[in-house]
């Protein structure tokens, strides 16, 4: 496991997110009020790209497809897919799953994400 540089801190202002591929993983890096975070790049419901989602309430990512919401800091499901009406029928097959998260550190103005791949 190793930390990999993903961007300069100045290139990711508070409230922004960025899709990257690092260490063989597709990841979204977020800059929230309380720091930098990283999660898997796709929603575990129907694999929509979270980089096209919205950060809401300062720490949640909302999937652009079916509006599932996840806590960016922990990956926990806050609200499972709920749009459009009727999507709940699919939820029987696609049960709730948290997002995979990755450790992030800031060093000398660069944001690093830790993955299972060696440096």
Kindly report the pTM of this predicted structure: 0.88
Cα–Cα distance measured from residue 24 to residue 118, given in angstroms and rounded to the nearest whole number: 10
Domain ranges, ordered by start, for the chain: 2-115
Q: Which CATH number applies to 2-115?
A: 2.102.10.10
Closest CA to 44 of 68, 60, 64, 26: 68
Q: What is the pLDDT of residues 41-61, one digit of tens each?
A: 999 988 899 999 999 999 999
Residues 81-104 have pLDDT tens digits of 776 666 666 656 667 889 999 999
CA-CA distances (angstroms) from residue 55 to 18, 73, 79, 113, 116?
Answer: 12, 12, 14, 19, 26
């Amino acid at each position: 496991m190793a930390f990999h540089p993903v961007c300069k801190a100045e290139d990711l202002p508070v409230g922004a997110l960025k899709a990257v591929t690092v260490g063989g993983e597709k990841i979204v890096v977020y800059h929230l009020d309380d720091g930098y975070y990283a999660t898997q790049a796709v929603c575990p419901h129907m694999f929509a790209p979270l980089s096209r989602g919205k950060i809401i309430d300062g720490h949640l990512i909302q999937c652009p497809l079916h509006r599932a919401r996840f806590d960016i800091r922990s990956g926990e499901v806050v609200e499972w897919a709920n749009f459009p009406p009727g999507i709940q029928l699919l939820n029987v097959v696609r049960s709730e799953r948290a997002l995979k998260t990755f450790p992030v550190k800031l060093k000398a103005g660069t944001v690093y994400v830790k993955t299972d791949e060696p440096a």
